[in-house]
A and B are shown apart, each in its own frame.
Chain A
Amino acid sequence: MHKKYVIAGALILAGFQAGLAQAADEAAYKAACDAAEEARKMSAELKYEWNTVAPLIEKAGAAATAGDFGKAVSLCDEARLQSEAAVAQARQQADDWRSAVVK
């Protein structure tokens, strides 16, 4: 009798914790992918978006839907890094292009 309650309690607690963990993973995924999307938009505004970025974000969405938040986070991190590189490229080229002109 007593034992049953203990087991049930443990199961509820475990479930609760798993739920918390899932919520934490989901929040990390949201944060990573929001940041990626923001960086992508900035590169697009500069007309410098790389076409490798949207597929990464799309794959991250699919991973999250399948419950693999860890994979989703790393895909969005990669998308953000690439978009940041694209923004840096835009800024650098705004200065550098003149030196490439045929003279």
Chain B
Amino acid sequence: MKRMVTVFLGAALVAGLAWATPEDDRQAFVEYFQNRFPDVAVADYINGVYAIDPGAYEQWVQIEEFAPYELAIAEGKELFETPFANGKTYADCFPNGGIGIRQNYPYFDTATGQVKTLELEINECREKNGEKPLGYKKGPIASISAYMAFTSRGQVLDVKIPDDPRAMAAYEHGKEFYYSKRGQLNFSCADCHVSNSGMMIRADRLSPALGHPTHFPVYRSKWNDMGTLHRRFDGCNKQVRAVPLKAQGEEYRDLEYFVTYMSNGLVINGPGARK
């Protein structure tokens, strides 16, 4: 009996040592897509579905020339620079005055033990300065986020998971969300954007998960509007007939933490235009 326990503990220890680190996860993720789409350069995954669909790519390049998100960038810049009632601006809340910092989000905030996204901090900045928070899925927050992404184009995504068990737990929580089947249709994010990426679902080709967060927020023709990453999560949850969770709630923030970590090393090219 005692020996069995020892053997069991030993096995658990080995399993524990063999547990994948986030970096192992990321490398396996990138490798998976390299094997699945051997002709696609890793750097091109920032282009979403257009990276794997040459026909649609040509059309999309044309759309990007008269980019439908230009207005949002201009509006976002104006909102970003307009002082609050107390005279402060967004620039006062962010490192480097909020310019060229998109690639560092989301990050784990050891002070609060929470994952902080860019949109969450935009609202925290407003509230700190006596302004009402904005809705998280579209409207002014998408414009401000679009402007901040625009000033960060070309910067390399660099999401960090600090040596803090709470940060690791948030990452694992996001990973669990990504791989868990949900809704009446019983699909996980990974079912569509990993193992069926490149396949058609009704009129859409499923984009690979790698590179997903680099170009958000996006102008989406179907919305006729800008939307944040959490607006997209919301839509993808509904597609499988699940009730979506709260934008910027813990689940979606942790999900963003995992998804964005998987795209570390790719460059920011937001905002983007999508079908």
CB contacts (< 8 Å) of A89 on chain B: these are 181-182, 186
Instruction: Choose among B181, B184, B190, B251 the residue that contacts A82 (Cβ–Cβ < 8 A).
Output: B184
Contact A47 B251 (CB under 8 A): yes
Quick one: CB contact mask for A62-98 with B, threshold 8 Å, 1 for yes?
0000000000000000000010000001000110111
Q: Any chain A CB within 8 A of the CB of B32?
A: yes
Contact A49 B181 (CB under 8 A): no
Number of B residues near A (Cβ < 8 Å) is 24
CB contacts (< 8 Å) of A98 on chain B: these are 179
Contact A50 B243 (CB under 8 A): yes
**Bound Cα distance from A54 to B242, whole angstroms:** 11
Contact A102 B183 (CB under 8 A): no
Contact B241 A50 (CB under 8 A): yes
Contact B190 A50 (CB under 8 A): no
Shortest Cβ gap from A57 to chain B (Å): 13
Instruction: Choose among A49, A97, A102 the residue that contacts B176 (Cβ–Cβ < 8 A).
Output: A97
Shortest Cβ gap from B251 to chain A (Å): 6
Q: Smallest CB-CB separation from A53: which chain B residue? A: B243
Quick one: CB contact mask for B171-207 with A, threshold 8 Å, 1 for yes?
0000110011111101010100010000000000000
Q: Smallest CB-CB separation from B209: which chain A residue? A: A102
Contact B29 A102 (CB under 8 A): yes
Q: Any chain A CB within 8 A of the CB of B238?
A: yes
Q: A93-B180, A97-B176 are in contact. Are A102 and B241 (CB under 8 A)?
A: no
Contact A102 B32 (CB under 8 A): yes
Q: Any chain A CB within 8 A of the CB of B28?
A: yes
Other than the known A44-B243, A97-B188, A102-B25, what 8 A-B pairs have Cβ atoms closer than 8 Å?
A49-B242, A50-B243, A52-B184, A96-B180, A97-B179, A97-B180, A98-B179, A102-B28
Q: List 6 A-B contacts (CB under 8 A).
A: A51-B183, A94-B176, A96-B181, A97-B188, A100-B179, A101-B175
